[in-house]
């Protein structure tokens, strides 16, 4: 290096390179697995926003909380929907077919059938209060309800 020229390496040594540090984990992820508190979060969503914000499997999962107090119900709910096609079809399925789904025993099948019967009676009660099938839409609604369960 002649004539007072500086080596460019000296220039870069004035600016040390710092490696980026990973961001700290969010507080909700730091210490506990994602599934802890899942039931409470799902119940709160239902209470705060109603059933319309829930997928069919989530509504079924809420129902299964009562029958299966300590196990993960999401997989069972999804398996039931996959097997039968919809929430209504799960409620309408015969108990012996419900029990074919892994995780569904006698008490779960019974609880599902109790809910199905409650829904059927509620629908019949609403229909009894209305004029007797005055439109084609009412006929279709009645047929869908009667056949779904």
Domain ranges of the chain: 36-117
Topology of domain 36-117 in CATH is DNA polymerase; domain 1 (1.10.150)
How many Å apart are CA 66 and CA 55, to the nearest integer? 18
For residue 97, what pLDDT is reported? 97
Q: pLDDT per position in the chain (149 positions), as tens?
A: 555 566 565 655 666 656 677 777 666 555 665 556 677 788 788 778 877 888 898 889 988 888 888 888 899 999 999 999 999 999 999 999 999 999 999 999 999 999 999 988 888 776 666 667 778 888 888 888 777 65
CB 118 within 8 A of CB 63: no
> Helices in the chain by DSSP H: which ranges?
8-13, 27-30, 38-49, 56-67, 74-84, 87-92, 95-98, 106-129, 136-148
């Amino acid at each position: 290096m002649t004539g007072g020229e500086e080596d460019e390496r000296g220039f870069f040594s004035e600016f040390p390179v710092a490696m980026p540090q990973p961001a700290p984990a969010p507080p909700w992820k730091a210490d506990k697995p994602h599934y802890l508190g899942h039931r409470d979060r799902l119940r709160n969503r239902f209470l705060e926003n109603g059933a319309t914000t829930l997928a069919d499997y989530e509504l079924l999962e809420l129902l299964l909380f009562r029958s299966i107090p300590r196990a993960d119900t999401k997989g069972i709910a999804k398996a039931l929907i996959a097997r039968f096609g919809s929430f209504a079809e799960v409620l309408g399925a015969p108990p012996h077919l419900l029990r074919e789904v892994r995780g569904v025993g006698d008490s779960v099948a019974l609880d599902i059938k109790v809910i199905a019967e409650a829904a059927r009676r509620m629908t019949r009660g609403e229909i009894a209060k209305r004029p007797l099938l005055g439109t084609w839409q009412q006929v279709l609604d009645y047929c869908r309800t009667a056949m779904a369960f």
